[in-house]
Amino acid sequence: MLSASLAFTRRLPGRAFAAACLGAAVLASASVAAQAEPRRPECIAPAQPGGGFDLTCRLTQAALQESGALKNPLRIVYMPGGVGAVAYNTIVAQRPAEGGSIVAFSGGSLLNLAQGKFGRYTVDDVRWLAAVGADYGVAVVRDDSPYQTLDDLMQALRQDPAKVVFGAGGTVGSQDWMKAALTAKAAGVDYKRMRFVAFEGGGEGITALRGNHIQAYMGDAAEAVTTLEGGAPIRILAVFHSERLPGRLADVPTAREQGYDIEWPIIRGFYLGPKVSDADYQWWVEAFEKTMGSEAFARLQAQQGLFPFSLTGPELDAYVKEQVRQYGELARSFGLVN
Amino acid sequence: MNNRILGIAALALAAMMIWQGHDLQAPFSYEPLGPRAFPLLIAAVMALCGLRLAIRGGGQAPANPPGANTRIAAMFGVIVGYALVFQWAGFIIATALMTLLVGRLFGGGWVGPAIGGVAGSVLLFVLFDRVLDVVLPVGLLGAWL
Amino acid sequence: MNGVLEHLSQGFGVAFTPLNLLVAAIGSFFGTIVGVLPGLGPINGVAMLIPVAFAMNLPPETALILLAAVYVGAEYGGRITSILINVPGEAASVMTTLDGYPLARQGLGSVALSLSAWASFFGSLVAFFGIVIFAPLLARWALAFGPAEYFVLMVFAFCCLTGLLGSEPVKGVLAAMIGLAISTVGVDANSGVYRFAFDSPNLSDGIDFVVVVIALFAISEMLQMLEHVVGGLSVKVPKSGRKLFNFAEFRFTLPSVVRSSLTGFGLGVLPGAGASVASAIAYANEKRITEQRDPDAKFGRGDMRGLTAPESANNASATGSFIPMLTLGVPGSGTTAVMMGALTLYNITPGPVLFDAQPQLVWGLIASLLVANVMLLIMNVPMVRVFASILSVPPWLLVPGIVCVSIIGVYSINATRFDLLLVAGIGLVGYFLRKAHMPMAPLILGVVLGNLMEQNLRRALAISDGDVVILFSSAVSVAFWVLSLGVILLPPLYRRWKKRSLLPEIAE
């Protein structure tokens, strides 16, 4: 944190002045009532309206309001770019002390962070606040596919990697690609020799799967449930989680049950700027703890297709740092970073 | 502005794209084209167009009337300044100032643009920030809004 | 067919409840305003209203009707500023400026407004019947569109663009290349490599389309206005006494309205093509078809058919884009993507099952689309006077207003200073391009289509493992190749043929 603040004053005198003014305003309001809620609370969604981060913000907006933890409306600000890179840089460099601004992040953000795609900032540069849910990777095929189990798919892959075309909703090196690469790796196939098609977002990929342009789609459980409920003729071969998921996917075995050690959780949550006061940080932690304990929250979470995964404060901080370390190792092992 | 300048600018842009793009390479990739082919193709076509324009010349645009270039430069400066202080000064202050300056460039006096700037910025702030829920920066007025 | 009528009567039952009628009216009005404001398009309007609708605990069909009315309303509103001040109110009305603004300059601003309102209505009407007939059947057809077919579709779109190149084809091609170059900035959606991002996270996702459009069509326009105007006369349009188009004009434009409505609907149904592509293709087609038959056609200089074609097409496309969303759960446009987000808030999943599980929602929405369009037509004809009165606002108030609303539009989806500065910078470049007589439409299309074209080609080759045969292997792609060739080759051949056949007449 210290190094970040030094870099920031050295480089940007104008911004420093702006930040000082903002900081003073925040401090002034904080000192009036130590445990009062931050003024003008806002949720920064590092995506376009309608994206995954927007939904995370909306879930939180609704939940904080229903539980009464937040009196003022939580407003949503859009700051798309680099799975959160733009928001991360803006918060750390330009708005580090705004106690009212929580920023959404996802497992995908952490993966990019671990690959050094967030510029010169690291996982230590913000205050990790709360995780509000998680999603899990799944392997999807067409209903009439010759691969009826994960093992069928793996056998086919081993025999001839060129026969199975994987699709996923992200670029090489993204968390969607990781699921395909980990699957190939679990089959003992070189991830560079598998065949892979990158789509933009899940919808295109699922459509290509249904049109038989690709043979296996590596998606997320929430979107798979949505697609299934839409009546699409798809089959979910495996869930990349340590245990079976509740609800509609309860019958789908985990990859581990089928003898392949693939786990891929994608958490969703929030962080705060590096110079946000302890009082504000604590206020948010308590607000989230109060909210996430409620029944209404579980309902809203399920509506968004997220699975329960609640961590706040220091526990989340430790979890995120460990996750980023693991992602970094994974990326190195795949030759994505040096 | 004429075709020669345009052509040379296009050549420069194409050269920049080729220089920046020639070593674009994925660590590994699953398709034959890779990230480099498309930008280089664009740059090549762009260079051809630029070459054609630079050689052919002509297309001289009529010069701006006297004073216009200064006004345009001033307007550009105001917009850049508006973008720079938008978040720091906040929407209302930045917009009131911008309206005053741009209004003067477009032949308003001092009074009209000043009143229009203050009234308009408050009105738009209320409309967007309060009614339509488009969050706008409060900036220096943060303590009062 | 009986089933369709039964469903429709159920739908109108939902649409005609007082609450839903009220919501459709509010949405239409608000949507028109959002469409009028440059930089705010349907996507912003819809995104803005989602939290309001959700917070007000509106039932899902009512919320969806509100959002759909805003969407369609914005397609109506977008044309107003295009015609009056040459600033497209939203992306899909870029093409409307080409002939709409010259018409306004000729004193036909009010006529152009009413005529385009009618064209928009007709486009929506065609698409409405299209939805009623095709939506329940279409679930399978779209699956034929894989990456290879999409690539060929983009090729077709670019071939259509040759009709837009203007008098200097080199500049048109150069403009398209600049647009394509802009589309390559940022992370490569396939390999994850950052291209031309200069290590800036702000460029990591590329340059937002909104930024480019605002810069080129609002900021650079304002800069250019400063060349001549100090007193602000150039914004004023001499008013004609006539507000409504007459029967001759109706008949004159009817063929273009019908053709473009069908084109727009067809393109709207394709996921991802969207209203801006539809209006561009419809304009180019209309220009090509008409110029061959009518030597007096003056496209780009105030031809009414050049006004009605993109307006019919963008409304037909906007309405048509509900089909892939409702039947497949694949959004046909950015705006329907946001609306799908709203549906998931209500825990409703779009898809073929929706027609069975929630008929009141689907058919209520479809019926409300028609209701909203009738309201919009009624609103947009008498209120042409109100909208035209925007012109009497003095430029020293109007220009800062446009700059301010443009910046709000950018800020509302990209809350960073970088994007605001980028708008200013691209605006200045745009001013110089305008000075050099570069056509803007190919540039914008390059930005829109570039990524789709490149990525789908690379996806297709990844699927086929590098074999280019995949690009010619399906009936759909072969059909689009033939169409593309036709678009490029037919006009010169036709011209030659016409010249030959006309020669004897001239000789006589």
* B32 contact A CB<8A: no
Helix count and strand count (H, E) for chain C: 22, 2
pLDDT at A26: 43
Would you place residue C95 in the very low, low, confident or very high pLDDT band (cuts 50, 70, 90)? Answer: confident
Cα(C425)–Cα(C419) distance, integer angstroms? 10
Q: Which of C219, C179, C166 is nearest to C451 (CA)?
A: C179
Q: B94 and B32, same structural domain? A: no
- The number of distinct structural domains making up chain B is 2
Q: Which of A220, A169, A173 is nearest to A197 (CA)?
A: A169
CA distances from C269 to C3, C259, C349 (A): 22, 16, 19
Q: B86 and B49, same structural domain? A: no
* A90 contact C CB<8A: yes
DSSP sequence for C310-379 = HHHHHHHHHHHTHHHHHHHS--SSHHHHHHHHHHHHTT---SHHHHHH-HHHHHHHHHHHHHHHHHHHHH
pLDDT of C101 > 60? The answer is yes
Mean pLDDT of chain C, nearest integer: 79
pLDDT of C42 > 70? The answer is yes
Q: B72 and B51, same structural domain? A: no
Which helix (DSSP H) or strand (DSSP E) does residue C269 occupy? helix C247-269
pLDDT in tens, chain B (145 residues): 788 999 999 999 999 999 998 888 887 888 888 899 999 999 999 999 999 999 988 888 888 888 889 999 999 999 999 999 999 999 999 999 999 999 998 888 899 999 999 999 999 899 888 876 778 898 888 777 7
pLDDT above 90 covers a percentage of chain C that reads: 18
Q: B89 and B41, same structural domain? A: no
Looking at chain A, which subunits does it touch, using at least 3 CB pairs closer than 8 Å as the criterion? B, C
* C467 contact A CB<8A: no
pLDDT of C445 > 50? The answer is yes
Whether C396 sits inside 8 A of B43 (CB atoms) is: no
Fold of A136-263: D-Maltodextrin-Binding Protein; domain 2 (3.40.190)
Domain boundaries, chain A: 2-134+266-333, 136-263
CATH number of A2-134+266-333: 3.90.1010.10, 3.40.50.10700, 3.40.190.150, 3.30.70.100? 3.40.190.150
Q: Is B27 exposed, middle or buried (0-12, 13-18, 19+ CB in 10 A)?
A: middle
Cα(A144)–Cα(B33) distance, integer angstroms? 32
Q: B41 and B88, same structural domain? A: no
pLDDT at C359: 78
User: Token digits for C51?
Assistant: 């939290």
Cα(A116)–Cα(A109) distance, integer angstroms? 11
Cα(C192)–Cα(A199) distance, integer angstroms? 12
Produce one character per residue of C320-331: b if its CB has 16 or more CB atoms within 10 Å, e if not: bbbbbbbbbbbb
pLDDT in tens, chain A (338 residues): 333 333 333 333 344 444 444 444 444 444 434 467 888 899 999 987 666 788 889 889 999 988 888 888 898 888 888 888 999 999 998 889 989 999 999 999 999 999 988 888 999 999 999 999 999 999 999 999 999 999 999 999 999 998 899 999 888 889 999 999 999 999 999 998 899 999 876 667 887 888 888 999 999 998 888 788 877 889 999 999 999 998 889 999 999 999 999 999 999 999 999 999 999 999 999 999 999 988 889 988 888 888 999 999 999 999 999 999 999 999 999 988 86
Cα(C266)–Cα(C332) distance, integer angstroms? 11
Distance from CA of B142 to the nearest CA of C (A): 17
Q: pTM of the entire structure?
A: 0.74
C52 interaction partners in chain B (CB closer than 8 Å): 133
Query: Where does residue A145 fall: left (phi above 0), alpha (psi -120 to 50 degrees), or beta otherwise?
Result: beta
A177 interaction partners in chain C (CB closer than 8 Å): 192
pLDDT at C231: 43
Looking at chain C, which subunits does it touch, using at least 3 CB pairs closer than 8 Å as the criterion? A, B
Parent domain of B124: 68-143
Closest partner residue to B30 (CB to CB) among A18, A75, A195 is A195
Whether A79 sits inside 8 A of C337 (CB atoms) is: no
Cα(C57)–Cα(C141) distance, integer angstroms? 36
Q: Which of C148, C144, C152, C146 is nearest to C484 (CA)?
A: C152
Residue with the larger pLDDT of the pair C129 and C360: C129
Is residue B39 one of the residues assigned to a domain?
A: yes
pLDDT of C332 > 60? The answer is no
Closest partner residue to A171 (CB to CB) among C189, C330, C417 is C189
A165 interaction partners in chain C (CB closer than 8 Å): 462-463
A70-89 residues touching C, CB cutoff 8 A: 76-82, 85-86, 88-89
pLDDT at B89: 93
Whether B87 sits inside 8 A of A28 (CB atoms) is: no
* C177 contact A CB<8A: no
pLDDT at C381: 76
| Range of weakest confidence among A328-332, B26-30, C142-146, C203-207 | C142-146
* Positions of E strands within B1-145: none
B125 interaction partners in chain C (CB closer than 8 Å): none
pLDDT at B45: 94
CA distances from C288 to A34, C262, C280, C281 (A): 70, 16, 12, 11
Strands A127-142 and A165-168: unpaired
A2-134+266-333 matches A136-263 in fold: yes
* C338 contact A CB<8A: yes
Residue A266: strand pairing partners: A135
B135 interaction partners in chain A (CB closer than 8 Å): 42, 75-77
C56-75 residues touching A, CB cutoff 8 A: none
Whether A207 sits inside 8 A of C455 (CB atoms) is: no
C218-247 residues touching A, CB cutoff 8 A: none
- The number of distinct structural domains making up chain C is 1
3-state helix vs strand vs coil in chain C, percent to 5: 80, 0, 20
